[in-house]
Amino acid sequence: MIESATKAFDLILKARIIAILRDVPSGRIVPAARALIDGGVRCLEVTYDAGSAEKSADALKSIAALEKEFGDGIALGAGTVLTPGQVRDAAQAGAAYILSPNTDRAVIRATKESGLLSIPGALTPTEILCAWDWGADAVKIFPASAMGPDYIRAVRSPIRHIPLLAVGGVTPGNTKSYLDAGCAGVGAGGNLVDTGRIAVGDYDAIRALARAFADVTVHARLADG
């Protein structure tokens, strides 16, 4: 699993875009993921639902299904992870990395003990540094849209050694701004994984959205040399 986590981190840093699959039922997860992959997005996060044990159990089914279908062809993670138990369940299902909306020392510890990549959520410099000191591999700035790229640029000035991902309100139109501000990557949910389109089987739309995001990140990589 450590090898899988390392490969996942390498892919995230290369691709610079994670698709957040929230409220996508396990029965539609594979075709939705295939549309994202066809559009150029291979880093996928399947989220738990803090308000629904049933949906959280279905998220684990989705992770297992994606791991079986795509294996090392994707970087597969679990999101909205709030407890150590959820970390262990996600690891067993096949997740290589763990994302949270917050910074929780016990969750980070359980993630590292499971050999997974840890990406907790934070907003302030204090939270970012706590997450890093507790073992995070990267830190998710959430909600990024509440602060914007200029905030991230300012925060990174004294702590640029910590990889940051912008999540929350990310679109194809502002992705470049976050990357230019120094983010190692971004995560996109509803603006990329449109559950309404998925519900009616419009995977061509999902593929087009993925391509719009991927085009921005590809151009950013080329500009970086």
Which residues does the annotation mark as catalytic?
45, 140
Residue with structure tokens 């990589």?
Answer: 221
String of DSSP letters for 5-48? HHHHHHHHHHH-EEEEE-S--HHHHHHHHHHHHHTT--EEEEEP
In whole angstroms, give the CA distance from residue 68 to residue 168: 29
Report long-range pairs for 122-127 (Cβ below 8 Å, ≥24 apart). 123/147, 125/155, 125/158, 125/159, 127/103
Can you say how many angstroms the Cα of residue 123 is from the centroid of all Cα atoms in its chain? Answer: 16
